[in-house]
Structure 1
Amino acid sequence: MHRRIFAPGALAAASLLLAVPASAAGVTAGAPGIGDPYYPSYGNGGYDVSHYDLRLTYQPKTDELEGTATIEARTTQDLSSFDLDFLLDVSEVRVNGARAGFTTSDQHELVITPKTPLAKGAPVTVVVRYRAVPSTKSAYGFTTWHRTPDGAVAADEPEAAWWWFPSNDHPLDKATYDVSVAVPDGTQVISNGTLQSAASKLGWTRYNWRQNKPQATYLATLAIGRFDITTGTSEGGVPIVNAYSKDLGDNDGAARASVERTGELVDWLSGYFGPYPFSSAGGYVPNTTTGFALETQTRVYYSPRQFASGSNTSVVVHELAHQWYGDAVSLKGWKDIWINEGFARYAQWLWSEHEGEGTTQALADYVYGSHPADDAFWTVKPGDPSPDDQFDAAVYDRGALAIQALRNEIGDDAFFAILKGWPKEHAYGNASVADFRRYAEQVSGKPLSALFDTWLFQPSKPTASAARTASLAPRAKASVQPKSWRKVEATNDVHGG
């Protein structure tokens, strides 16, 4: 679940101009965009990152962040220069040990020129030294660095890395991470993966976190503050780490009543999606004024507002489902967002059925009946929603309707085989909506192009017969609201920023 606080479509035309690499003496510059039409200036061309090593120092009182990022990569073309996505003030860059030239371009491009050109297929080590106050930096009129009373949080989508580390910021370039952060004693650091060590020296404590599975840059998170941290292990053997700001106030109890069920819910979801794909699970609830939750890999970010009306295990199910659908298997391009959000929403529907608060079909009937044919809801195409509607409620709800229609078409045996097989088929990689359709056809043995087109790509309300079920009929009334709907709908608070 996510928010969108600017209209990226407005940037596309100008950003496309940036994607044309320059050439110098037959060696080309890496493109300042990875080629995603939704966000043409996001990510970069010419190299593939395998590992980020981030060694940081942070002072909560002043919001000053100092860091050294060491990036291990391999070139995919001959390079005279290349870009990293980054906003903070850089003092030095080295490429393979030698000082490199650097400048900035556009609103978030760090352009690096190595001392000598880089050959295609060569390993490369990039070291970037930097220092800044992240809360003073913005791009396109927004920030993803969220100050808290006792620290800060980096979490957002589709970008968050620019405010704390230089990166190839697109899900197509996933990497492993070591995140080491020194903070004043009494302050704690939360990040992805597992805590390797924490040691105090001269009034500072350094926390060392490791993410040993490939991770998209927007799924990397950093939280600094004073937390109450709980640990445990699920019955299935998954280590759990949860953290709560010590000043959550009235939302504290409801947050704990929800997030502390993470281990139970990871095990439950494993029954549908297969073995949990990472070394740990958990979530954190910082004292922020944001309203969204985000599936930051292994360590989900939850706004306190998600629990303002009481406990909500449904939102925890949604974000944990993303660990399979969105994190372990990431999208190829941001137009493929349905694979992330449709299945996370459908997991909420499965949880509703499990809890006896409304079957998946009852929820599908309610959503279908709640939106008349002339509702703008049906003009959003979940399979390619456009940058401006990427996180529209229709991507979630119409997206889940498409999944129920698929289930009704192919039957439960094939459907649940697909749910479990897909994360295994593309484990730790990337895939598109087209890839999913082909996989569903392979497993089910049925042609599904028409069904996918109807539910994901047509800007109109599908007929009831298109779902191949009597349940999605005109008699399905909006007034028949499943008991779980309010909790499911609460996750829509992310929309509109």
Structure 2
Amino acid sequence: MRIPIIRPLLAAAVALTLVPAAAPSVAAPASADVPTVTYQDVLPHLERFQRIADDNGGNRAHGTTGFRQSMDYVRAELDAAGFRTRVETFRHDGRTGHNLIADWPGGDEGNVLLLGAHLDSVPEGPGMNDNASGAAALLTTALTVAEQDLRTGDHLRFAWWGAEELGLVGSRYHVAQRSEAELAAIDTYLNFDMTGTKDPSLYLLTDSGAEATDVFETYLNDHGTDTIRVDGGTSSDHASFAEQGIPVAGFTSGLGECYHQACDTLSNVDPATEALSTNALIDAVWELARTDDLSGIGDPYYPKDGNAGYDVGHYDVRLDYDPAVPDRLTGDTTVTATATQDLDRFHLDFEGYTIAGATVNGDPAEHRREGEHELVLTPSETIRSGKKFTVRVKYTGEPTGDAWHPIDGGGFAVYGGLNSATTWYPANDHPSDKATFSLTATVPDGWQVMGNGVPGRTTRADGRSTFRWHKDKPMATYLSTVAVDKFTVRRDTLDSGLPVIYAYGTGTTILPESEALLEPMIEHFSDLFGPYPFGNTGAIVVNARGGHPAFETQSRPTYSGGMVEPAMAHELSHMWFGNAVSISDWRNACIKECIAQYANQLWEEYKGADLDSGFYAHEIEANRDNPEFWDTRLYDPGKGKELDSALYSKGSLMIHALRKAMGDDSFFTLLKRWVRDHRHGNASWPEFERLAQDVSGKDLSAFFDAWAHSTTVPAEEYLFPAGR
């Protein structure tokens, strides 16, 4: 930024409040639970900015390719780490400028802690201290937040401004575009400019009375650095926020000899100063934003889904059910997990039921209800970070929830919906925490129980039968299922050796012609996507009230009424996209739904259809002039729209257009690489975009902006990227 006020401030320092540093010592480190980084953690980002400048005329100034590449680099890093990013575009001096905004999931979006730094340089040089240093420190802080999976009370937002060197243009544009409510939600704005100055005499702290100034002052003084408080004037990036009455803070390590010159290269950034500045940022974020609230995993749409503080490794669910008493289920679930922080208490998601007792590591634990679906447990002793522990919960009561589907005659099936697991067992109910799974269920003789995975031994005693199922590959909780009915069970083995179990409930239709399609369908998708990811397959077919037509319950999809060809293609493809590779949060459902819907078209193509002249051309022409068809984003569509119909209609068109943009070889390599690279884990849509670009060797950012991030019909070059 242009900061002519800084030089007079330095000269007049004696007239301001100078806070002397403590003696340099290791006696005043950051709090033990606040992470620290080294210069080697920041250096890769600085090196990238320097290379970008070198490749683009020696600078990264507003309106240049160098600035755009700098922003794209930062955005890609943030997207891969799980941030929700967006780009603001404006015009200044006849050139296009950009701001990059990144939100960390979770926290109260009515109370925002916003941290910013300008990303542009002056035309005279690469701007490595002014302000690649602040931009890199901010990026390293954001990535540390993601690596530590920081749970926040306030909502955490980061910003990288464009065109600040031309008069604070980017930050002023951002403020001008915000509503009164959006500005009121910003509790504090923190700005960082020139954070790697060589041999700084002191740090200048922006002071408007914000709590953050005290935090920075304490940290820097405790680490042997003098500080001085200044008001910052109107020439700093925080000015437009201060003008709105928003408390501001931040710091600079000061000007250097190469300020706004060609010599402001990487060699002009001091490693010790940059490391200290970055750790001061991290310390402030932990001090100001961290929360002890463990009641949510931080999903941007459903922040109370899932729970913080631990990772589940295995569920052992035991049920007792009598169809003669359909409003009563008895359960006994043991959750094996590993603490990711010290836990004096923790949460499980569970809806309804009366808790008969709970233990942690075999000892009785206090338990209470909180909110809509929180079961809060307090162990007798603190569970230390890194330690494995077991939780056992016994419960009984009437099942509730949209995913509980009664079957006439007394049976039931549980499937469908984002929170299906909480209908029948306590869980860390978010797709990002996958775990293996065991089900043991006892019912009267003559009834059967179906579940995910491999069947175990069935035992009988006293007129009751106990069924066992086991899933040895990690599974997202919403993909787990149990169904009780008087099933007709048919078994088969495919030529590949894959065992198949079909279970047909009362009132359903057995379609041998559909069964005959299973093997060629799995073989074809295996050719396109890679090896089938599980050790078994088949179907559960039920006639349940209020159920989805079909759902991708892991390894064995559930169908309503009958197993029919279009539903089979969709649900079987989910075994690769959604089950083997699950979404990281609900913004990313296009990864599974857009591709699974396109799998129907791939199956039709296998049978001889011409997708270009048939499916694709017809759908484009039918909807080109229909704004409603295009008005939902495919990535991050918004709360309540995570499974919007657009993901199936517009989404399948996008996947075909992507295939044409990449070419068949690259496209199907992408699909195989995606499953191989993330097999039995989680991933995000931005990671999919990055992999598509890596595999194809093409810049597909404009394509994805037009299709996945836009709410209007894509331009012709993206509708028909290979021509008509």
Compared CA separation, residues 189 and 231, structure 1 to 2 (3 A) = same
User: How far does residue 70 in structure 1 lie from its aligned partner after superposition?
Assistant: 0.8
Residue type at the aligned position of 2:340:
T
Counterpart for residue 553 of structure 2: 296
User: How far does residue 82 in structure 1 lie from its aligned partner after superposition?
Assistant: 0.7
User: How far does residue 467 in structure 1 lie from its aligned partner after superposition?
Assistant: 3.3
**What SS class does the counterpart of residue 181 from structure 1 fall into?**
strand
Counterpart for residue 476 of structure 1: none
Deviations 1:381-420 (A, max 9, x none): 1112112222222111211111111111111111111122
Partner Cα distance (2:110, 2:577) in 1: 29
**Residue 264 (structure 1) aligned with residue 520 (structure 2):** yes
Counterpart for residue 647 of structure 2: 395
Preserved contact between residue 242 and residue 260 of structure 1 (Cα < 8 Å): no
Residue type at the aligned position of 1:145:
W
Counterpart for residue 53 of structure 1: 316
Matches within 5 A, 1:2-401: 29=292, 31-63=294-326, 64-87=328-351, 88-134=353-399, 137-138=400-401, 143-150=402-409, 151-248=411-508, 252-254=509-511, 256-259=512-515, 261-289=517-545, 290-304=547-561, 312-359=564-611, 362-401=614-653
Partner Cα distance (2:615, 2:720) in 1: 16
Partner Cα distance (1:285, 1:129) in 2: 30
Residue type at the aligned position of 1:238:
L
Partner Cα distance (1:200, 1:122) in 2: 38
User: How far does residue 30 in structure 1 lie from its aligned partner after superposition?
Assistant: 5.4
| TM-score when normalising by structure 2 | 0.59
**What SS class does the counterpart of residue 717 from structure 2 fall into?**
helix
User: How far does residue 268 in structure 1 lie from its aligned partner after superposition?
Assistant: 1.9
User: How far does residue 340 in structure 1 lie from its aligned partner after superposition?
Assistant: 0.5
**What SS class does the counterpart of residue 633 from structure 2 fall into?**
coil
Residue type at the aligned position of 2:711:
P
Partner Cα distance (1:21, 1:182) in 2: 43
Deviations 1:345-383 (A, max 9, x none): 111101111122442562122221121434311011111
Q: CA RMSD in A?
A: 2.2
Q: Which runs of 5+ in 2 are unaligned?
A: 1-105, 112-150, 155-289
Compared CA separation, residues 339 and 60, structure 1 to 2 (3 A) = same
**What SS class does the counterpart of residue 128 from structure 1 fall into?**
strand
Q: May I ask how many residue pairs the two structures share in their alignment? A: 441
Deviations 1:297-348 (A, max 9, x none): 01101112xx5xxx73121010000000000000011010000001101111
**What SS class does the counterpart of residue 257 from structure 1 fall into?**
helix
Partner Cα distance (1:368, 1:417) in 2: 26
Preserved contact between residue 93 and residue 129 of structure 1 (Cα < 8 Å): yes
Compared CA separation, residues 313 and 157, structure 1 to 2 (3 A) = same
| TM-score when normalising by structure 1 | 0.85
User: How far does residue 234 in structure 1 lie from its aligned partner after superposition?
Assistant: 1.6
Compared CA separation, residues 14 and 145, structure 1 to 2 (3 A) = farther
Preserved contact between residue 413 and residue 481 of structure 2 (Cα < 8 Å): yes
Specify which structure has the bigger relative contact order, considering alpha-carbon pairs within 8 angstroms and separated by 6 or more residues. Answer: 1
Q: Which runs of 5+ in 1 are unaligned?
A: 1-11, 473-497
Preserved contact between residue 352 and residue 360 of structure 1 (Cα < 8 Å): no
**What SS class does the counterpart of residue 458 from structure 2 fall into?**
strand
Partner Cα distance (1:39, 1:459) in 2: 23
Preserved contact between residue 196 and residue 208 of structure 1 (Cα < 8 Å): yes
Identity of aligned residues (%): 38
Residue type at the aligned position of 1:71:
V
Residue type at the aligned position of 1:398:
K
User: How far does residue 97 in structure 1 lie from its aligned partner after superposition?
Assistant: 1.0
Preserved contact between residue 349 and residue 375 of structure 2 (Cα < 8 Å): yes
**What SS class does the counterpart of residue 501 from structure 2 fall into?**
strand
User: How far does residue 16 in structure 1 lie from its aligned partner after superposition?
Assistant: 9.0
**What SS class does the counterpart of residue 318 from structure 2 fall into?**
strand
- Rg: which structure is higher? 2
**What SS class does the counterpart of residue 79 from structure 1 fall into?**
coil
Partner Cα distance (1:261, 1:185) in 2: 33
Compared CA separation, residues 405 and 411, structure 1 to 2 (3 A) = same
Preserved contact between residue 353 and residue 360 of structure 1 (Cα < 8 Å): no
Deviations 1:264-309 (A, max 9, x none): 32122111111111111111111113342110001101112xx5xx
Counterpart for residue 484 of structure 1: none
Give the one of 705, 709, 717 matched to 1:453: 705
Preserved contact between residue 107 and residue 152 of structure 2 (Cα < 8 Å): no
Preserved contact between residue 353 and residue 359 of structure 1 (Cα < 8 Å): yes
Compared CA separation, residues 21 and 112, structure 1 to 2 (3 A) = farther
